[in-house]
Structure 1
Amino acid sequence: MTTIDPRALRNAFGTFMTGVTVVTAHDADGNPLGFTANSFTSVSMDPPLVLVCLANSSQNYDALTQADGFAINILSEHQKDVSNTFARPVDDRFACVDWRTGPHGSPVFDGVSAWFDCSMHKTVEAGDHVILIGQVQAYDTSPTPGLGYARGAYVTPMAEAEALSQNANLIVSALIAHGNEVLLVDDGNGGLALPEIRVGKDGASAALTKLIEASGLSAEPGFIYSVFEDGAREHQHISFLCQAADGIPAKGCFTELSASTLMDIADPAVRIMLERFASESRMGNYGVYYGNQTSGKVRPIVSGS
Structure 2
Amino acid sequence: MTLENRRLLRDAFGTFMTGVTIVTTMDDAGMPIGFTANSFSSVSLDPALLLVSIAKTSSNYARFLAAKGFAVNILAEDQKEVSNTFARPSEDRFAAVNWQAGPHGAPILAGVAAWFDCSTHQVIDAGDHAILIGRVEGFDASGQSGLGYYRGSYFTPAQAGAALASGPAVVVSALIEQEGRVLLQDDGRGGLTLPTARVGAKGATATLQALIEAAGVTAVPGFIYSVYEDVAASQQHIAFLCPSTSGTPSKGGFVELAPNGFDDVTDPAMRIMLERLAEEARVGDYGIYFGNQNVGRVAPVTTKT
TM-score by length of 1: 0.48
More contact order relative to length (CA 8 Å, sep ≥ 6):
1
TM-score by length of 2: 0.48
